[in-house]
Amino acid sequence: MNIGILALQGNYYQHKSALDILGVKNTMIRHAKQLDICDSLIIPGGESTTISKLIDNNKLRNILIDFAMNNPILGTCAGMIMLSTTVPTDNMVPLNIMDFQVKRNAWGAQVHSFTEDIYLDFDKDRSFHAVFIRAPKISRINKSMQVLSTYDNEPVLVSDGMHIVSAFHPEIGNDFRIHKYFINHINERIPSFS
C-alpha cells in the first residue's frame, strides 16, 4: 500500500508523520506522474482557495477526478471542501467528487478555532479529540452518505462508501484512529493491498 498525500499547501506534513508512525508507505504528491504509484490519497487541510489554484497550476484537476473513480481519498478540512460539490467561486473550484456541499469557515474564523471531544461511529467506546480550525460545515448532503461522526448535531465525518471527509484535523495529536480507519477502508476496497 502506498498512500499519496497532496503536498501543494497546507498541513500535509502531519499526515505524513501519522502514516510514518503507523508504518504505511506514503508519497508526497506535487505532480501527476507521482500518483501512478499510489492506490489512495489524502488531501489535507489548508487554504482551499490556494489548493484549488495549485491543483490547476500543476495540471492535477482531471488527474485527481479520474483517480477518485477507483481509489479512496481522505479529505480533511480544506480537503473536505475540495472533494465537495460546493458552488464554485472565482478563487475556489471544488473537484465535485462527493455529493455534498459546505459553507466555508462556518464554525468561525481562525481566532474561533476550538477542540471538542466527539464520538466515532466505528469506535464509540472512546471519544476522539477533534481540532476544528476555520472548519467547513456541511450545508447539503446526499441522504445515501454515511455519517461517521457529528458535533452539535452536525455531520463532521462522512463517507460515500469510497471516500471519507472530515471537517476537523484528525492528523493533529496522537490519536490516529481515523487514519487507521482509512487504511482499513483501502484494504476493503482494494483487497490486494491487505
169 flagged as catalytic: yes
Q: By the 8 A CB rule, do 10 and 46 touch?
A: yes
**Among the options 15, 169, 179, 185, which is catalytic?**
169
**Among the options 15, 163, 171, 179, which is catalytic?**
171
Rg of the chain, C-alpha, whole Å: 15
47 flagged as catalytic: no
CA–CA separation, 148 vs 159, rounded Å? 7
**Among the options 77, 163, 179, 185, which is catalytic?**
77
DSSP E strands, the chain: 2-6, 25-29, 40-43, 73-76, 100-103, 114-120, 123-132, 137-141, 146-151, 154-159, 164-166
The catalytic residues are 77, 169, 171
